[in-house]
A and B are shown apart, each in its own frame.
Chain A
Amino acid sequence: MREVAVIGVGLHKWGELWDMSIRDILVTAAVAALKDAGVDHVDSMFLGCMSSGLFSGQEHLASVMADYLDLTPAPATRVESACASGGLAVRLGWMEVASGLSDIVLVGGVEKMTDVSGTEATFALSTAADTEYEGYQGVTFPGLYAMMARAHMNRYGTTLEQLSQVSVKNHANGALNPYAQYPFPVTLETVMNSTMVAEPLRLLHCSPITDGAAALVLCPAELARKSFREHPLVVITGSGHATDTIALHSRADLTTIKAAEVAAKRAYEMAGIGPDDIDFAEVHDCFTIAEIMTTEALGFFAPGQGGPAAENGETSREGSKPINTSGGLKAKGHPVGATGVAQIIELVLQLRGEAGKRQLKEPRRGLAQNMGGSGGSSLVHILEKR
């Protein structure tokens, strides 16, 4: 397997993009990535998107992507793993380069969520859960994570304040991110008093509905050293992928995210490192409790210590383990299929030293954790600066 480098990244400002269609946002991000990489052709494309059918009435995105980028007849593959679609696209693009099948691979992620009503968007998202045994019963996504939160709070004493601090931190980071949907800070009081959605989770514990796309260009590290030297070399050293049961009620332990733990183990093993070797991470904070639980699952903090770590500032930019310097899903936005790709972009920008006001002090290794639904699937990638 060849070592794979990320030679180009493409993002745009996320939000409610009324004037842009799914094609428009996808093209914007992809073109930005291709330009950033300095390539004029691709051997293959991968695209993560959860639900373009339900959101835009448009499937067959493989053809749409190739067509609108004027890259036909290059092969294109659209993948889906609910909110982990982006991370899955990254993995498959990495696999195709690592295996030697392709040299230049474009990896994109996109979701256009505002061409349907709020109710329809909620329905589309609910298809990431067990339709007949959770959805039918009246469950919602905030409801599922709220149940995990309550179990975690009951077992470990995690507090509402700790959950809220995650939102405050991510907004503080997002305020420094020019691409974020909500680039402004929020206070603890505002978070704790926001509208109740599913007890105990309130509106500001939940990531938003967002239109957005993100893209990367991958190539073999050896080729990057020779021909793509504009940016510092950043390589993917670990990739891990795992599944768990579709329904939350089938999980063995409601206070952890097993799929993230297993995916991380596989990524650490491939990279030959452990959690302590990671300088910073982008994790899947679809709800604030998810950030707390994944930081534990990734081995950054002991089980039950994710809440105190957030409260004590260990996960802030100045802390021992900065989490979600991009603003996370909460402040940056969560266009479902794009999130996993955007996480990688934040790692790359930080490792390159191009993260602007959010820049950490010379990070060397970053981890991105992406997951689908209530934890039914998870992808973990580890990137290093060479």
Chain B
Amino acid sequence: MKIIPPRYHREIPRRYRLEAEKDDTGRIYFPPRAAYISGKSVQPCRLADRGKVVTFTVIHTAPKEHSDLTPYPLGIIELDDGARITAQIADVDPAQVEIGMRVRIEFRRIRTEDEEGLLCYGYKVVPE
């Protein structure tokens, strides 16, 4: 499904700046949740920009939008503030990726909506 401006635009604060929310216990909500319903008090924050690989795979059969980069490593990254995100691991030989590897966030083009559509940016991680 092609991404068009309204759908892309509303995610910019999170995709570009990793804006999130944090409650009193330090638990991070990315994107924010209606945690206040259960009485939690949340404040805005930004995700840490460094972390480690918790688990990963190397994708050989990719969705159309990412098929130019196969095979690409993709993992669940635990950032240094405890938040977990899913991100591609760029600029690395897939065979070198390991659980526990230190990585940092980098701004990359995530997908291109065909020849005439939007260029969609966001976060990937690269080895530290």
Residue positions of A touching B, CB distance < 8 A: 119, 122-123, 126, 130, 132-140, 142-143, 146-148, 150-151, 154, 195-201, 247-250, 254
Contacts and interface: CB of A to CB of B under 8 A. Distances in A.
A200 B94 CA distance: 12
Nearest to A126: B63
Interface in B84-109: 84-88, 94, 99
A249 B63 contact: no
A143 B74 contact: yes
A249 B29 CA distance: 12
B54 interface: yes
Interface in B46-72: 54-66, 69, 71-72
State the main secondary structure of chain B at its contact with A.
strand
B127 interface: no
A198 B84 contact: no
A130 B76 CA distance: 13
Given A133-B86, A136-B110, A137-B74, A143 B59 contact: yes
Interface residues on B, range: 20 to 34
A196 B72 CA distance: 12
Given A147-B75, A248-B76, A140 B63 contact: yes
A139 B58 CA distance: 10
Contact of A123 (B63, B94, B99): B63
A252 to B, nearest CB: 10
Contacts of A143: 57, 59, 74
B57 A146 contact: yes
Closest 8 CB pairs of A and B: A146-B57, A151-B55, A138-B66, A199-B58, A249-B84, A147-B55, A249-B76, A198-B57
A138 B1 CA distance: 13
Interface in B14-65: 31, 54-65
A137 B73 CA distance: 11
A148 B55 contact: yes
Nearest to A150: B55
A249 B57 contact: no
Nearest to A117: B64
Nearest to A151: B55
